[in-house]
Amino acid sequence: MNRNRKGRPGLALNNRRRGLSPVVGLIALALLGFITAACAADPTATPIPTPPPATATPATAPPKAEPPLTTHLYALESEHVRLEGFTWSGGAIESIGEDLLVVMPKGRFALVAKDGTVEYPAGRVPMNYAGLESIPVSERVDFEPAAFRVADILLQETAGGYTLFVTHHYFTGECIRFRLSSTTIRREAGGITVAPDWRTVFDAEPCLPLLGFGGAQAGGKMLTDGADHLLVTIGNHATDAWPARPTFDADRHLGKLLRIATATGEVEAVAMGLRNSQGLARDGAGNLWATDRGPEGGDELNLLAPGGNYGWPLVSYGIESGGKVPPIIEDAAVGQHAGYRRPVFSWVPGPAVSAIAVNDGRQFPLWKDDLLVASLGAKSLYRVRRHGTAVQYVEQIELGYRVRDLTFMPDGRIALLRNAVGVQFLSRSEQYCTEAARARRDVYAVNCAALAPAPAVSRADAGPAVPSFIRDLSRYTTSGAQLFDQHCSSCHHQDAAEHDDGPHLVGLLERPAGQVAGYRFSPALAASGVVWTPYTLTRFLTDPAQVVPGTTMAAPDLRGVEAGAIANYLSSLSYLERLVKDREPIIRDDDFDVYLQDNTLTYVKAPCAPAYLETRFFLRVYPVAVADLPDDRRPAGFDNRDFEFGDRGGIFDGKCMATVALPEYAIDRVETSQYVPVDGDYNNLWEGEIPGEAGK
């Protein structure tokens, strides 16, 4: 093992772009930058061969509480469960009893129990991704691997367990099919078993070429339609410029809502002219609601009707990405959506809508029958208030992360699939279960017994050294710094050398309230016993007296989501200060430093990436021995130590920091690179030995 200049374990570096240029002030620049920038065949049933199932992965830790959210009618509590190895776009969720079944983008399974612990059942959706990876990169230069994915899952309960349906891509060896497959799931003590005997129910026509593969526009959402049929949306897979216009072609399945017989695969087209319907739901009156993701603007909420033609790609309220008119547009009245069925509601600009669900009122009775629409681009939920089929208003609930899928749990909680991260559970705040709330309005008392009160925060409960939100990069936005500057900076400094009307906030995370040298606190705050965490900071900024009775601090004019953004911003600065103080970077360069802590690589960038530039970094990890890999990650026929485990890294998007967790096995070597789309090239590539405490 190599050692760095201070004698600590570190990488033996080989910067392939240029010689190392250590910058004495990099950490200061990172902190300054952070404060400044942060203040998308045969239809009959046939068996599919699959490899033998692997051993299930042990359960993981329980979920982490996150700051509450404030909406127009409710305050929401939030819990986040991170999933291992979830680094791609796509995937889907559905409740299975009181638990949550997750199928990740490349077909791996996870079962999230009601208490938040996670197990990874053996088996995988048959997609032949290994065959796709075996093709030389030069022959798939225009192919985006993240677009090859699982689109949706659906469970039907049977006498012996469940039938699982999955819509997904499948590589035939020459082209890519959009496929509906099925298998069975058995519930057993402590988990589930996924049967390995998958069958093909339906293959969409045509089989798609790798060149220009538009799998990000897959659609693929499912609903049951009686005991023996499914309704399935098929996206147009970016075939807008095809002369055949498959969204209108009766012999092609792309861009349509299909009704498929689950026993025979027989299919009929119900509606057409769709682009990328990633959401499908049925309300109590039997109406079919679908989201359809438009180009640049023009995301739609459609009411689907038999025989309906919704016009894509000939009409849209959106325009083509880059500011052009819609592709193949022939209607002179661009943006009027004339001649075809119009959406019930359209977003301009479009927030990249995804899944949709109808609220049944179990935990949110004031939202009964409202539609919840998830979004990727806006990192929000949209609550759609309707009367019948008419939309009355749309409320945006800012979450700060991209939402791929959503469903309701049996107890009424909202489960969200966070793109390439994990799952989030939203529930009603415990404030609606107080005696006063029940006396004031009975509707607040529904399901109160199911809501556990928030635990008291003590110093012992302050949380781990690395807070969970640091691993959740999607909450890293500039809003926290901007709100801090607007509401807090006149009284609080970021400089430990001085106080103002309020105490300085350096090292705030895990600091006991009322215990900073050189500042005189109120007796109530000094004796409170509160420790500052993202959760307690959010509650204090929303209502100081609720956290510290008798405090002299007036309540700021902040909504819960704004208070949460400030709390995350301050806590992230505290984490960065501690990281820089306690650790030597294992990689140092002009563009960013890389730190290793708790099996996680943290990239500190100086200056911060501009908000408009989606700068990414990537990892390539080499295990000490392929035998150490889990069975479902081990390539067949390989037993040497040269196998490369590719792992997508994080994204700097208006941020100074990004993180990625290392796999849980011994690592021999790691390479990391930065990709900047502006110049279209990779740079900053290093390799060397990683410290021995990592990856174990």
Percent of the chain with pLDDT over 70: 62
> Rounded distance, CA 673 to CA 687, Å?
9
Highest mean pLDDT pick, 322-331, 392-401, 587-596, 620-629: 392-401
> What distance in Å separates the CA atoms of residue 690 and residue 619, rounded to the nearest whole number?
12
User: pLDDT value at position 521?
Assistant: 82
Average pLDDT over residues 338-345: 93
Provide the pLDDT for residue 587: 73
Rounded mean pLDDT of 106-131? 93
pLDDT for res 325: 63
- Residue 663 confidence (pLDDT) above 60: yes
Q: What is the DSSP string of 308-330?
A: -B--TTT--SSBBTTTBPPTT--
Going from N- to C-terminal start, the domains of the chain cover 46-428
| In 452-591, alpha helices (H) | 479-487, 523-526, 534-542, 544-547, 560-582
CA distance 199 to 170: 13
Asked whether residue 504 carries a pLDDT value surpassing 70, the answer given is yes
Quote the pLDDT of residue 360.
86
Contact 155, 223 (CB under 8 A): no
| CA–CA distance, 328 with 339 (Å, rounded to integer) | 15
Average pLDDT over residues 164-183: 96
pLDDT digits (tens, 9 = 90+) for 434-489: 555 544 444 444 444 444 333 322 323 333 333 333 333 233 334 566 677 777 77
Give me the mean pLDDT over the 385-403 stretch.
94
Least confident of 26-40, 253-267, 381-395: 26-40
Please give the pLDDT value at position 454.
31
Higher pLDDT, 485 or 375: 375
Rounded-to-integer distance, Cα 17 and Cα 64, Å: 40
Binned at pLDDT 50, 70 and 90, residue 537 comes out as confident
Confidence of residue 331 (pLDDT cuts 50, 70, 90): low
1.10.40.50, 2.40.50.140, 2.120.10.30, 2.30.29.30: CATH of 46-428: 2.120.10.30
Report which residue type is found at 189.
A
Helix pair angle (26-38, 560-582), 10° resolution? 180
Instruction: Report the alpha-carbon distance of residue 529 to residue 56 in Å, rounded.
Output: 42
The conformation of residue 504, written as its DSSP 8-state character, comes to -
Q: Are the C-beta atoms of 274 and 257 separated by less than 8 Å?
A: yes
User: Look-up: residue for tokens 């570190």?
Assistant: 10
User: pLDDT value at position 136?
Assistant: 77
With pLDDT > 90 as the criterion, what percentage of the chain qualifies?
A: 33
List, in sequence order, every residue forming a beta bridge with 176; answer none if it has no partner. Answer: 171, 208
**In which element (H, E) is residue 439 found?**
helix 435-440
Asked whether the predicted pLDDT for residue 286 surpasses 80, the reply is: yes
Pairwise pLDDT comparison (195 vs 469), residue with the higher score: 195
* Residue 206: cis peptide before it, omega within 30 degrees of 0: yes
- 177 vs 676: CA distance, rounded Å: 32
Three-point CA angle 111, 113, 115, nearest 5°: 150
Task: Please state, in angstroms and rounded to a whole number, the distance separating the CA atoms of residues 91 and 292.
Answer: 18
How sure is the predictor about 212, in pLDDT bands with cuts at 50, 70 and 90?
A: confident
The pair of three-digit structure tokens given for residue 387, joined into one six-digit string: 């009367």
399 or 671: which carries more pLDDT confidence? 399
Confidence grade of residue 609 (pLDDT, cut at 50, 70, 90): low
Q: Shortest CA distance to 163 belongs to which of 260, 234, 228, 231? A: 228
State which amino acid sits at residue 303: L
Query: By the 8 A CB rule, do 297 and 354 touch?
Result: no
Structure confidence by residue, pLDDT tens digits, 119-168: 999 999 999 988 988 887 657 667 788 899 999 999 999 988 999 999 99
- Highest mean pLDDT, choosing among 330-339, 515-524, 625-634: 515-524
Residue 224 has pLDDT above 50, yes or no: yes
Neighbours of 387 (CB within 10 A): 8
Work out the pLDDT band at 28, boundaries 50, 70, 90: very low
What average pLDDT is seen over the chain?
A: 74
Q: What is the model's pLDDT at position 372?
A: 98
Pairing of strands 657-661, 118-119: unpaired
C-alpha span between 693 and 696 (Å, rounded): 6
What does the pLDDT average to over 243-249? 76
Lowest mean pLDDT, pick from 34-38, 128-132, 628-632: 34-38
613 φ, ψ to 5°? -110, 115
CA 214 to each of CA 106, 211, 290, 574: distance values in angstroms, whole numbers, following the listed order: 16, 9, 20, 42
Give, rounded to a whole angstrom, the gap between the first and last alpha carbons of the chain: 16
Q: Write down the pLDDT at residue 307.
A: 94
pTM score > 0.75 for this model?
no
Q: pLDDT band for position 203 (50/70/90)?
A: very high
3 contact partners, CB below 8 Å, separation of at least 6: 9, 10
- Alpha-carbon distance of 30 to 10, in angstroms, equals 21
Would you state the pLDDT for residue 248? 85
pLDDT of residue 276: 96
- Indicate if the pLDDT at residue 389 is higher than 80: yes
Distance CA(357)–CA(407), nearest Å, equals: 6
Residue type at 141? V
> 36: part of which helix (H) or strand (E)?
helix 26-38
Q: β-strand 299-304 against 288-292: which pairing, if any?
A: antiparallel
